[in-house]
Structure 1
Amino acid sequence: MAERDIVVVGAGIIGVACALQLARQGRQVVVLDLQEPGMGASYGNAGHLATEQVFPIADLSILKRLPRMLLDPMGPLRLDWRYLPRALPWFLRLLMNLRPANYRRTVVGLRALNEGSLGAWQRLLHSIGRADLLREDGSLLVYERAQSRPALEALQQRMQQQQVPVAFWSGDAIRKAAPQLSDNLQGGLFFPGTGHFLDPYHVVRELVRAAEASGVQFLKRHVLEGRVGEHGVSLVTDQGPLSARQVLIACGAHSAKLTAALTGKTVPLDTERGYHLMLPRESHRLPFAVTSLERKFIMTPMTDGLRLAGTVEFAGLARPANMQRAWQLHRLSQGLFRENLSAQGATPWMGFRPSLPDSLPVIDRVCDDKVLLAFGHQHLGLTQAAVTAEWVGELANGGQALMPYRLDRF
């Protein structure tokens, strides 16, 4: 007999948002995680509500960049050569998903999630009385070299074809909105339907507070194994067994092992290791998030400073962080401002983005409704957390999973 109603495995932004949603639907919810809530990828993400990002994480140009990835340890996209044997099957799947039909399916899937993301976040933050944690003031993609303009204009056209709100800004318009940016900036694309969070970790903590007030129990436990039985799911944790009528797997980059144990399905889940550098003296520099087209990183103003983020490293879950990649972000920022950013008191960080080769998450209900799934959101976990929670709530109430996000697509 199941001793719990529903257990959520994973206390990141996805798991916590889902736990709150389920509790508000009358479910008795327990959340398990080896770490304190929000201390994984949710702690150090870029803080950008990236509703404009409706295209896959890679395109066919990755073939041209692959040799450079292997040789440049500080490049924006790096593949650790020691990880290549494990990463190669994932990259082959990624390339297969760039075929026209698969690519279109990904764009449709990302659009569906992203178009609902801002409204879902507005509802969620309003419901906990913390709408002030999100700034809905847009974001900006800038370029510096004149030869980059055709690529930017092509991107603008593709965005408009997907009904993404976007406007071209001249260099003068950029400096009017963000006076501290350099005169070297030629122009950029402004995305009015986006925004940024003032402190992503604080968002998780506020959701935890609301969840606990709704009866959610958070336990610090490491889930080692599990199996689906006639009456529910049995889990083995580092503090003993635990059983439940239903389980939601929402532990990000660590979701593959438990998914295989409970469903028998091997999921091609890998991790894009992301780095950030937090500059505590620079919170005043920008009014909104700014991304550099050529330098390929983002700068987001937050309560505690300016967060520089955006590099990608494929090296798996086990290898230690290379914090020089985080410090490289400060070097990349030089020349983007009238006066260079101060790195005094800066703190580096690395986290694991859970990525699937078709750039779509798994949001599904399987095993006779005993197992719910919500993982694989790649760079968009923060963006899509609130809308994912609403969809998981529908699945828990008997709704049907949508085709692009189903587990059986693999």
Structure 2
Amino acid sequence: MNKVLIIGAGGVSNVVVHKCAAVPEVFGEIVLASRTKSKCDKIAADVKKRLNREVITEALDADKVEETVALINKHQPKLVINVALPYQDLAIMDACLETGVDYLDTANYEPKDEAKFEYKWQWAYQDKYKEAGLMALLGSGFDPGVTNMFCAYAQKHLFDEIHNIDIVDCNGGDHGQAFATNFNPEINIREITANGRYWEQGEWKTTEPLSVKQDFNFPGVGVRKMYLMYHEEMESLCQNIKGLNRIRFWMTFGEEYLTHLRVIQNLGLDRIDEVDYKGQKVVPLEFLKQLLPDPGSLAENYTGKTSIGCVIEGIKDGKKIRKFIYNNCDHAETFKEVGSQAVSYTTGVPAMIGAKMILTGKWKQAGVYNMEQLDPDAFMEDLKTYGLPWHVEEWSSSVE
């Protein structure tokens, strides 16, 4: 019987636990651990109510490798699913190495004291995991994750050569709040205020934050203004999609959101260094996080849909073609199913499917892997089965 340890108790974790509990033939036992055990207990109670499955809950400070090692040794899971903060990735990977357990996450490592996220720290574990006969699956969320799979599927089935990829991400929903983030505010604001970057002709090019923008007609949502950003899946895709000339990432933001963001920056509330306040050391962005709505609290009143996909250009049978592979996800429907909004749902479902791929042996191989390095077919089928159906369309115009 497969047992999994899920670390983290935020909105994404809520989805992962519910979706794992709904597949008992793969996930026989579930242990949920977080720094705040009461959050785990709340998720476990909802799973019991909806699915009549028991979830074991534990308190855990995942920053401390020795605590995670002790918890793994206590429960002997076959896989650790990390949906905690990206700051904790390396500590959890170390604990998995020490205890001989496979590892999965949804977002790459980010140092707490520097707004910089990239895969180099986790890729450095390649030899250690390979020698230990363990697997580490990186970025099994939506973007990164499903978008990587869209590209891998296109490379395998739709194109002879892929030249350009534009990953486009729109949350067309409305949560009724003046300003709120759809996932952890610290990570969200650090990500958005960073320089834009894209890969073209073998090198990275940099833009000022949110300085490059254009309109795009998102299926199921309509025309929205999207902004060029850096996003981690590009770092691996530019290495693993052969013949690629250019890859970019775009995300939509409303004017009210951007106005609030400018005020936050102008006031210095996005700072990640410590400041003195009445003899106490305070990190402004961490303080701001406490003032903003918990992303999990947005779900109940959320309306509208997300629309996320990949515009891919290349060659098939000697002809230039352009395809758009995408998914729409409805906030109200995901709340009805698991009590979460669609941004959490689109990350949590792929985490469960990635775990299923490992536990059933479809993706079991030693080493550290990004999603597109693995066969996409079974994963893509499971997306349809477990709530994230996808569509392929001929696309008439390119992204400028």
The verdict on a shared fold, with TM-score over 0.5 as the criterion, is no
The TM-score normalised by the length of structure 1 is 0.30
The TM-score normalised by the length of structure 2 is 0.31
Q: For CA contacts below 8 A with separation 6 or more, give which structure has more relative contact order.
A: 1
